[in-house]
RNA sequence: GGGCGAUUAGCUCAGUGGUAGAGCACUUCGUUGACAUCGAAGGGGUCACAAGUUCGAACCUUGUAUCGCCCA
């Protein structure tokens, strides 16, 4: 049956996917023929996820590595699975509930809500798996894992093979707790007022927004005054005045209510007279104004603002450090929604206690300070941004804002000056939740932390020693930088969807960490206990992905065979979130590295380099691309743009180009099929004809290039080499060369060429399979009856031994001659269909042999008829710039002397430039002395060739001038 | 402010010391028996700038400029 003109991807892809699946072709160990294993853990996409271009890119690279190793006979495992994605999933399900008019999360309660989430997961969690299959991903789908598999409520639908994942997570928490690597503490954390949970530093995005800086006066206690003196650089006094206040600048006036002190730099002479004094927070009921001390600390920047900083330890990370150093109490002002607190005792009672603390009459424990609500009654319950407005208004109306003069035009258009509150409009960096997009509030809360400093050293050492290699290398620098400055990792989340923390509390607030409630009760001596309602950060469990998916803590066969895994392919953006934590946790838990290589890539962007986003409308949907162009085109594009460390710009135009490449390959195969040159047995064919020897050598070269490129994770090099080989060598030259041999040559040559052609096409298909699995598997089946599917076909191992240097040289000369004839024809406007004679003189024996050995090919491809040996060129002959002989096209009738002169002069110009450079180098004794011999030799040989060409061209030009 | 990276053809980008490359776009020609999702032939670059190292620099070093990303 004749092949269609193009590959029908939309018909073939699902059929091939089903075929692979029916054969269980991607099972761990499939096509295994050697002992070494090769394992990749998929970066688990969120269960809420839909395939985007980033997944498509990332998984294409993994699949290339996996298919390549599987064909090479490694014991190969690509472990798939999904991440439960705490916040994202909880958010998604809540949205669904709202959209379908079901009871909300709060109305349902924890138990019922979690049932809904599991139900939702069962329904939609498999979406991404199907999408990855459409891309051709050869994961062992029967092993599909889930980071919450085995957790309470898991109905075990589907086929997760890792019911232990939850047990593994709990076991690790308990062990790390017992080793003192996990602790509970009241610390300042990033609080997300939308989701009402703590989040880690990494989940915060600092974004520059337009903000204001207010300047307020904090009056000194009891109306005290001091002389405020400002000096310039030379020490000359520029300002001296009596002040009864200290000036403070802030971008967050609402937090003034929680101030515990004002800090100035110890070297700041301006405030030296009042250090140790008390000043008044200028907000709240007059009769209960709080007094706070003026202290010194290295933190304030003398040149910034007034040089004095208010210290609100419970709502700012820098202030928190200052407060801790100076023993300043931390007063929390807000509730979980980011509104001003409405709990606790009335303001006057709380303010009275705080005043005693400021005066040193009383000290508070952290929780006593936290219990104190210092929000005045009229602000209680107000949203933090509303409270800000109220505070500013109150201070300003009381005349305690710092005033500056401003020019304005009055009714008559006259310029006047007036005093206005000093408010600077300036960009400020504001923290936002990466999921909720609301302003994050630093908040003092009780949370669980991993003492990262204690587990960081083995992780640093693993990379420093080279045990783990991060590619590109710049990733290692980033890795060191972060790990060397690591902060405690807040791992508790006030969510419901996730691994519930295995800690139970008794009525007195003592807590017991254990794998099960029964064990905890036992530890508590039988007391009734209540479990910590919080769940673990999703990244805590995904940090255990490499071992959890292999059945740890059980001593499984898979753990022994596939762990440590080999390569992790993932985005740069989760280097800290996930990669570093996996290394830390695997090192802490099983004392081994999780993988030896990390391949980091950039974000996939649009063709202009912009981030894809729904609002910009530049999102490319990989599934639409697959529909339109086929998965292979998208995959080839992904591989082609995967330069190490490169920016990834995806464009439809590029994809179209590689879709065209699949058509090209298809048609080369179709040509082979038409000439019964298909279905080799895989053995390298024996060849007599130079052209066949040559293409066998070229094939061997490209196999070596592809292997070397993939070995070095240079996917772009592998893709480009294959593209250049298939299109530029096989299609452009070999298929064309083969035509006279297949159609007009003797039976033996024809048979040989059929065998070589069949082998070459098969090799193209094999070598392209990791990148383009569908079209190649289809061709494999179409072109022959095979013992094994292509995905299980052995990867070739031939190499340089197949390269025949003489054949190589001869074919390069033939190609050069053909190109030169074509070029002269085109420039001399010889009609494309016209066959022309060629004249030659001074032909070397080599050139003669090369010409005669390939006469049929040359004549066909250059559209020439006979070659005439001559002693002198006839008038009007255009000379060819080829070595080994003086060829010419006798074009007396058609030649345009002017054009030919211009052509020759241009060629001579180019030659002169090259020759000049080479002569210059060779005449420099230092070059000859210092450069490697082979470079010198190469230059000499090159120069001789160019000089020969130059001689021919000069002679031709001279003849032309005689006409 | 700190860290990392980039700057090469009109565009998008490869190129780790030895003759500046690819794809796309562009121009001209083409119904030659695989392919018009194609073929042939062309035009197009002071490798950001400056100084240095070297026989030799797009590549190494230093500085400058511009842009990007991450972290404060």
Is the complex ipTM more than 0.85? yes
Q: Which two tokens stand for residue A734?
A: 């070999």
Two tokens, residue A253 = 């006036």
A883: CB within 7 A of chain B nucleic strand: no
Q: Which sequence spans correspond to the domains of chain A? A: 197-425, 628-803, 821-962
| Percent above pLDDT 90 for chain A | 34
Give the end-to-end CA distance of chain A in Å, rounded to a whole number. 60
Q: A174-178, A401-405, A495-499, A834-838: which range is least confident on average?
A: A401-405
User: Which residues 247-276 in chain A have a CB closer than 7 A to strand B?
Assistant: none
CA angle at residue A56 from A54 to A58, to 5 degrees?
65
Task: Name residue A230's beta-bridge partners.
Answer: A239
pLDDT digits (tens, 9 = 90+) for A575-595: 888 889 999 999 988 999 999
CB–CB of A572/A600 below 8 Å?
yes
More confident site: A153 or A584 = A584
Tokens describing residue A406: 């401003």
Mark residues 426-465 of chain A whose C-beta is closer than 7 A to nucleic acid strand B.
429
Kindly give, in sequence order, each residue whose CB lies less than 8 Å from that of residue A761, ignoring residues fewer than 6 positions away: A668, A669, A672, A677, A678, A730, A779, A783
Q: Is the peptide bond before A472 cis (omega within 30 degrees of 0)?
A: yes
State whether the beta carbon of A822 lies below 7 angstroms from any atom of strand B: yes
Q: How confident is the model at residue A163 (pLDDT cuts 50, 70, 90)?
A: low
Q: What is the mean pLDDT of residues A499-511?
A: 90
Q: CA–CA separation, A517 vs A526, rounded Å?
A: 11
**Which of A's residues 583-612 have CB atoms within 7 A of nucleic strand B?**
607-609
Phi, psi of A665 (to 5 degrees): -60, -45
Q: Distance, angstroms, CA A317 to C1' B49? A: 43
Collapsing DSSP to helix, strand or coil, A691 comes out as: helix
Q: Is A206 helix (H, G, I), strand (E, B) or coil?
A: strand
Q: What is the pLDDT of residue A158?
A: 45
Could you tell me the distance in Å between the CA of residue A634 and the C1' of nucleotide B25? 21
Tell me the fold of A197-425: Isoleucyl-tRNA Synthetase; domain 2 (3.90.740)
Query: Is residue A161 predicted with pLDDT exceeding 60?
Result: no
Helix (H, G, I), strand (E, B) or coil at A887: strand
d(CA A877, CA A926): 43
Distance A646 CA to B12 C1' (A): 12
The answer to whether some atom of strand B lies closer than 7 Å to the beta carbon of A906 is yes
**Can you tell me which residue has its alpha carbon closest to the C1' of nucleotide B37?**
A660
Report how far residue A634's alpha carbon sits from residue A626's, in angstroms, rounded to the nearest whole number: 7
Pick from A44, A111, A97: which is nearest to A538 by CA? A44
pLDDT at site A162 = 53
- Give the pLDDT mean for A61-71: 96
Q: Is A868 left (phi over 0), alpha (psi -120 to 50) or beta?
A: beta
Please compute the mean of the pLDDT values over residues A92-120 and round it to a whole number. 86
CA of A932 to C1' of B19 (A): 16
H, E, C per residue of A482-535: HHHCCCCEECEECCCCCCECCEEECCCCCEEECCCHHHHHHHCCCCCCEECCCE
Give percent above pLDDT 70 in chain A: 99
Residue predicted with more confidence, A592 or A298: A592
Gap from A905 CA to B46 C1', Å: 24
Distance A646 CA to B6 C1' (A): 10
Residue A699 DSSP SS3: helix
Identify nearest nucleotide to residue A629 by CA to C1′ distance. B37
Q: What is the pLDDT of residues A836-871, one digit of tens each?
A: 899 999 999 999 999 999 999 999 999 998 999 999
Judge whether A516 and A152 are in contact, CB under 8 Å: no
Model confidence at A101: pLDDT above 80? yes
Q: Is the pLDDT of residue A444 over 80?
A: yes
Count Cβ atoms within 10 A of the Cβ of residue A412 and give its class: 0-12 exposed, 13-18 middle, 19 or more buried: exposed
Strand B proximity: list residues 173-232 of A with CB under 7 Å: 201-202, 205-206, 208
Low-confidence winner among A269-273, A511-515, A643-647 (lowest mean pLDDT): A643-647
Interatomic CA–C1' length for residue A505 and nucleotide B7, angstroms: 60
Which residue has its C-alpha nearest to nucleotide B56's C1'? A927
pLDDT band at A963 (very low <50, low <70, confident <90, very high): low
- Our measurement of CA A93 to C1' B64, in angstroms, reads 54
Strand B nucleotides with an atom less than 7 Å from a protein beta carbon: 3-6, 12-15, 18-19, 22-24, 28-43, 54-56, 70-72
Determine the nucleotide nearest to A668 by Cα–C1' distance. B34
What's the whole-number average pLDDT of chain A? 87
Contacts of residue A310, Cβ cutoff 8 Å, sequence gap at least 6: A218, A248, A250, A255, A256, A259, A261, A262, A263, A319
Q: Do A161 and A145 touch, CB atoms closer than 8 A?
A: yes
With bands split at pLDDT 50, 70 and 90, how would you rate the model's confidence at A389?
Answer: confident
Domain A628-803, architecture per CATH: Orthogonal Bundle (1.10)
Give which of A110, A112, A116, A35 is closest to A76, Cα–Cα.
A35
- In the 752-811 segment of chain A, residues within 7 Å (Cβ) of strand B are none
What are the beta bridge partners of residue A405?
Answer: A419
Q: Is A466 left (phi over 0), alpha (psi -120 to 50) or beta?
A: left
Same fold, A197-425 and A628-803: no
pLDDT of residue A1: 58
CA–C1' gap, A427 and B44, in angstroms: 45
Token duo for residue A458: 């083995």
């Amino acid at each position: 049956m004749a092949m269609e003109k193009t590959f029908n991807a939309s018909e073939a892809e699902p059929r091939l996917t089903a075929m692979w699946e029916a054969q269980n072709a991607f099972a761990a160990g499939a096509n295994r023929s050697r002992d070494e294993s090769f394992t990749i853990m998929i970066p688990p996409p969120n269960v809420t996820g839909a395939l985007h271009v980033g997944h498509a890119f990332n998984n294409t690279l993994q699949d290339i590595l996996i298919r390549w190793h599987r064909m090479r006979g490694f014991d190969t495992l690509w472990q798939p699975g999904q991440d439960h994605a705490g916040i994202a999933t909880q958010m998604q399900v809540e949205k669904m509930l709202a959209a379908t008019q079901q009871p909300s999360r709060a109305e349902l309660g924890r138990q019922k809500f979690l049932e809904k989430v599991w139900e939702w997961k069962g329904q939609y969690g498999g979406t991404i798996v199907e999408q990855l299959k459409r891309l051709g991903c050869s994961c062992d789908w029967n092993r599909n894992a889930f980071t919450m598999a085995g957790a309470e409520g898991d109905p075990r639908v589907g086929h997760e093979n890792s019911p232990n994942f939850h047990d593994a997570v709990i076991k690790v928490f308990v062990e790390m707790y017992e080793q003192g690597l996990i602790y509970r503490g009241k610390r300042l954390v990033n609080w997300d007022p939308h989701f009402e949970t703590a989040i880690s530093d990494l989940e915060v995005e600092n974004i520059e927004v337009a903000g204001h800086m207010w300047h307020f006066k904090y009056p000194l206690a009891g109306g005290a005054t001091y002389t405020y003196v400002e000096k310039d650089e030379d020490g000359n006094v520029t300002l001296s005045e009596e002040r009864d206040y200290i000036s403070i600048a802030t971008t967050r006036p609402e937090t003034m209510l929680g101030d515990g002190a004002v800090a100035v730099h110890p070297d700041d002479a301006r405030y030296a007279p009042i250090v140790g004094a008390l000043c008044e927070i200028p907000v709240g009921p007059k009769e209960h104004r709080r007094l706070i001390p003026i202290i010194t600390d290295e933190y304030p920047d003398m040149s910034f603002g007034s040089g004095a900083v208010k210290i609100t330890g419970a709502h700012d990370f820098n202030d928190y450090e200052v407060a801790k150093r100076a023993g300043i109490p931390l007063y929390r002002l807000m509730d979980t929604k980011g509104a001003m607190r409405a709990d606790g005792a009335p303001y006057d009672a709380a303010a009275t206690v705080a005043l005693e603390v400021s005066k040193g009459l009383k000290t508070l424990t952290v929780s006593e300070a936290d219990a104190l609500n210092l929000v005045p009654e009229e602000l209680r319950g107000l949203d933090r941004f509303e409270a800000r407005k109220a505070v500013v208004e109150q201070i300003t109306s009381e005349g305690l804002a710092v005033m500056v003069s401003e020019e304005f035009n009055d009714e008559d258009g006259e310029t006047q000056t007036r005093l206005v509150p000093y408010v600077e409009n300036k960009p400020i960096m504001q923290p936002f939740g990466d999921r909720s997009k609301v302003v994050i509030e630093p908040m003092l809360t009780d949370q669980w932390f991993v003492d990262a400093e204690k587990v960081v050293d083995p992780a640093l050492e693993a990379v420093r020693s080279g045990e783990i290699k991060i590619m590109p290398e710049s990733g290692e620098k980033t890795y060191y930088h972060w790990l060397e400055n690591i902060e405690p990792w807040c791992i508790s989340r006030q969510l419901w969807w996730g691994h519930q923390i295995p800690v139970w509390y008794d009525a007195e607030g003592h807590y017991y960490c254990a794998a099960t409630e029964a064990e905890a009760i036992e530890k508590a001596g039988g007391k009734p206990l209540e479990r910590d309602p919080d769940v673990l950060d999703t990244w805590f469990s995904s940090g255990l992905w490499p071992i959890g998916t292999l059945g740890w803590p059980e001593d499984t066969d898979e753990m022994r065979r596939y762990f440590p895994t080999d390569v992790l392919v993932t985005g740069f953006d989760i280097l800290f979130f996930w990669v570093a934590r996996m290394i830390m946790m695997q090192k802490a838990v099983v004392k081994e590295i999780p993988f030896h290589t990390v391949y980091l890539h950039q974000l996939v962007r649009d063709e202009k380099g912009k981030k894809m986003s729904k609002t910009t409308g530049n999102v490319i949907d990989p599934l639409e691309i697959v529909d339109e162009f086929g998965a292979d085109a998208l995959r080839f594009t992904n591989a082609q743009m995967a330069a190490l460390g490169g920016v990834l710009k995806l464009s439809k135009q590029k994809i179209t180009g590689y879709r065209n490449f699949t058509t090209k390959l298809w048609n080369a195969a179709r040509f082979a099929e038409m000439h019964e040159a298909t279905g080799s047995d895989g053995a390298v064919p024996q060849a007599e004809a130079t052209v066949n020897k040559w293409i066998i050598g070229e094939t061997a070269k490209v196999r070596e290039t592809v292997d070397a490129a993939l070995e070095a994770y240079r996917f772009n090099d592998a893709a480009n080499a294959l593209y250049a080989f298939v299109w530029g060598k096989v299609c452009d030259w070999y298929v064309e060369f083969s035509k006279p041999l297949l159609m007009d040559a003797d039976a033996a040559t024809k048979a040989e060429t059929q065998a070589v052609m069949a082998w070459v096409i098969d090799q193209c298909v094999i070598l392209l399979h990791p990148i383009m699995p569908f079209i190649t598997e289809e061709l494999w089946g179409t072109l022959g009856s095979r013992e094994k599917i292509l995905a299980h076909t052995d990867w070739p191992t031939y190499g340089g031994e197949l390269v025949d240097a003489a054949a190589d040289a001869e074919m390069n000369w033939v190609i050069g001659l053909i190109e030169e004839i074509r070029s002269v024809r085109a420039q001399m406007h010889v009609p494309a269909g016209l066959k022309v004679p060629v004249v030659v003189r001074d032909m070397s024996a080599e050139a003669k042999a090369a010409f005669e050995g390939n006469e049929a090919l040359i004549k066909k491809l250059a559209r020439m008829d006979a070659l005439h040996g001559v002693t002198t060129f006839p008038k009007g002959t255009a000379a060819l710039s080829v070595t080994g002989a003086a060829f010419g096209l006798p074009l007396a009738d058609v030649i345009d002397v002017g054009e030919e002169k211009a052509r020759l002069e241009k060629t001579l110009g180019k030659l002169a430039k090259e020759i000049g450079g080479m002569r210059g180098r060779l005449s420099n004794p230092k070059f000859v002395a210092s450069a490697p011999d082979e470079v010198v030799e190469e230059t000499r040989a090159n120069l001789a060739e160019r000089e020969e060409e130059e001689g021919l061209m000069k002679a031709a030009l001279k003849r032309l001038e005689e006409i």
